[in-house]
Structure 1
Amino acid sequence: MKAVVHAEIPGLEGLTYGEIEERQPGEGEVSIRLKTAGLNHRDLFVLHRHKPTDPPLIIGSDGAGIVEAVGTGVEGVQVGDEVIINPGLGWQKNSDAPPAGFEIVGLPDHGTFAEKIVVPAENTAPKPAYLTWEEAGVLSLAALTAYRALFTRGKVESGMKVLIPGIGSGVATFLLQFAKAAGATVYVTSRSKEKGEKALEFGADKAIDSNEDWKEALGGEKMDLVIECVGAATFNKALEQLRPGGTIVTFGASAGDDVQINLRTFFYGQFNFLGSTMGSAEEYSDMLKFIETHQIKPVMDEVYPLSEFGEAFKRIEEAAQLGKIGFSIS
């Protein structure tokens, strides 16, 4: 089968598009003929975590397609089912943190940038009928990450003021849509005027230029909740906008992970600082119910043929995207 494979050289230079042997599903597994897949920042990180001495790896965590074969012991999933993939492996029930052994599709095992993939049957869910194949294929990782950060960890409620720095990524656009659906007032920041204007179209109540004075731009308003994924470049600026007793949730550090904070200011502010990563199968099910109830769709950026993976990686590496980048798989 055709696939995007990483081998021998760290980074993008180690990616090739070509033939690799497919495998058949074992006990409890299904084989899916993929129609679409989604690109995430995680795929960039995998290119450096996957070592040149490791066996060749098909990368990619998000995908949707049609079940082509089922292994022994599989119940509830049949050949011909249209499904999406929950990329979280080994985390069933909601818990404070992932259990030992939790992994994500696309490392250490093969991922979704291929014509077919074999995954545990329990990691499939019926494709939401109102989503196109392109929308379904880019949904899972970003939407699940946003759902846990906002609801499980951030405990967002109607009437809250929520700040999302760095609007543009797939997760950030889901955070915006989810928070608005929950009844929150949502503020976003971006260095891009275009992305800020688009965020207003998607429902943001206010878009701030990341380079301006945030306190002044917000008119002195303080936030109940900040969801932070940028890292060192914005963390302290975001923290300054939090009300006493407010909560900041972080799940990413694309602009640096070395952050210094003033502890005295932090404890006098009675702030809550929480980490978050992906989510459980239980949260995944809740997320799917939530998006269907509110008819939420991924914000789509660009969709490329899988063979043009290089252009897609260049776009996400330059942070040029607004929303999700997808691959069509023939």
Structure 2
Amino acid sequence: MDGRGGPEVLRHGEIAEPAVGPGEVRVRVRAVALNHLDLWVRKGVAGPKLALPHILGSDVAGVVEAVGPGVQGVAPGEAVVVNPGVSCGHCERCLSGQDNLCPEYQILGEHRWGGYAELVVVPAANVLPKPQNLGFAEAAAIPLAFLTAWQMVVDKLQVRPGEDVLVMAAGSGVSVAAIQIAKLYGARVIAAAGSEEKLEKARDLGADEGVNYSRPDWFKEVRRLTGGKGADAVVDHTGAAYWEGVIKATAWGGRISLVGASSGYEALTPLSHIFYRQLTIFGSTMASKSRLYPILRWVAQGRLKPVLGSLLPLARAAEGHRLLEERQVFGKVVLEV
């Protein structure tokens, strides 16, 4: 990426091979998945002061090519999944298992060079063995989306068996993961999306009900499906356009976990609904690195699965950005390297 703007600022070219330092590993990238974060960085909404050129890409699967001094437990030739959250590793937050609250926290592809490349260098703590039942493209579709969804569903919302969970923007990578994780924890899932096609795919993935939020007063349908109660917990990253409806779709005493604002940051919040109906709103970003361990175990057992919406070569990254921006895919857009 050599500028800020539309997909046309993405360039395919040659750069120097990155050096591997103490405690680091160099991974030969086999696949890298796209996220909306890539779009925000490209536009300058996220990381507006980043030096250019910059390499995007948070979600990487590949093969360890080299290890730096002091690295143990990882060897060249191993197939790995890269955890995109990088932290200092020694502060109070990191040592308490809250490394995504580290003052020095960075996300691969946002704050440091990422995986739209043949090689990427990361701390050794950020690589885990690739599940043997997955190809590289499927493995690349896991980290950021599933980590984000796991923290929302499990750590923040603490979803329990029998609860009604509303998952907004059901076709996105995070929501595809959230649907599966909520079902894993015994919830009844109501998927919300802007097209019947995406809702049908969400049902195929395990969602129990579907609501089309392109319709007026869509939140009333959520309440109807829950016997007038509303959703006990909500996974949301849709932003200003749907925020008021999300609040009205939530049950008394319900919880909302918010991880993004795709349609805009300036939202109207009817405060009476928050205090009178005793709602709880959780902000959420990524998850502790430790959470990738149970996620990959469930993936290896076939209980969680990545969903590929489109597979393209790295040289067509701009096309991948357009697909994501125009919401033309259900699941992840992945680039093969």
TM-score, structure 2 normalization: 0.91
Divergent runs of 4+, >6 A: none
Equivalent residue for 1:273? 281
Question: 2:266 aligns to what?
Answer: 258
Identity of aligned residues (%): 37
Cα gap change, 1:52/1:283 in structure 2, threshold over 3 Å: closer, same or farther?
Answer: closer
Which of 44, 48, 62 does residue 65 from structure 1 map onto? 62
Is contact 1:163–1:227 with CA below 8 Å preserved after alignment?
yes
Shift of 1:9: 4.5
Equivalent AA in structure 2 for residue 164 of structure 1: V
Deviations along 1:229-271, one digit per CA (max 9) or x if unpaired, are 1011111111112111110110010011111222222111011
2 CA distance for matches of 1:53 and 1:63? 21
Amino acid at match of 2:306: P
Range with bigger deviation, 12-21 or 301-310 = 12-21
Structure 2: 5+ residue runs without aligned partners? none
Once the 2 structures are TM-superposed, how far is the Cα of residue 293 of structure 1 from its aligned partner? 4.3
C-alpha distance in structure 2 between counterparts of 1:194 and 1:54, whole Å: 40
SS at match of 1:233: helix
Aligned to 2:147: 144
Which has the larger share of strand?
1
1:118-133 mapped onto 2 (5 Å cutoff): 118-133=121-136
Instruction: Give 1:288 shift.
Output: 2.4
One-letter code aligned to 2:209: K
Distance 1:8 1:228, change over 3 A: closer
* Count of matched residue positions in the alignment of Structure 1 and Structure 2: 324
2 CA distance for matches of 1:289 and 1:227? 23
Matches within 5 A, 1:56-95: 56-90=53-87, 92=94, 93-95=96-98
Superposed displacement of residue 109, structure 1:
1.9
Match of 2:170 in 1: 167
Gaps of 5+ in 1: 1-5
Look up the equivalent residue of 1:321 and give its one-letter code: V
Aligned to 2:213: 210
Quote how far apart the aligned CAs of 1:50 are. Answer: 5.3
CA distance in 2: counterparts of 1:62 and 1:126, whole angstroms: 14
Which letter maps to 1:172?
A: S
Contact in 1 for aligned 2:85/2:100 (Cα 8 Å): no
- Residue 226 of structure 1 deviates from its aligned partner by 0.7
- Contact kept, 8 Å, 2:86 with 2:106, in 1: the verdict is yes
SS of the residue 1:17 aligns to: coil
- Once the two structures are superposed, residues 135-185 of structure 1 have per-residue CA deviations (whole angstroms, 9 ceiling, x without a partner) of 101210011000001111110111111001221110010001111111100
Using the alignment, how far apart are the partners of 1:211 and 1:109 within structure 2?
A: 37
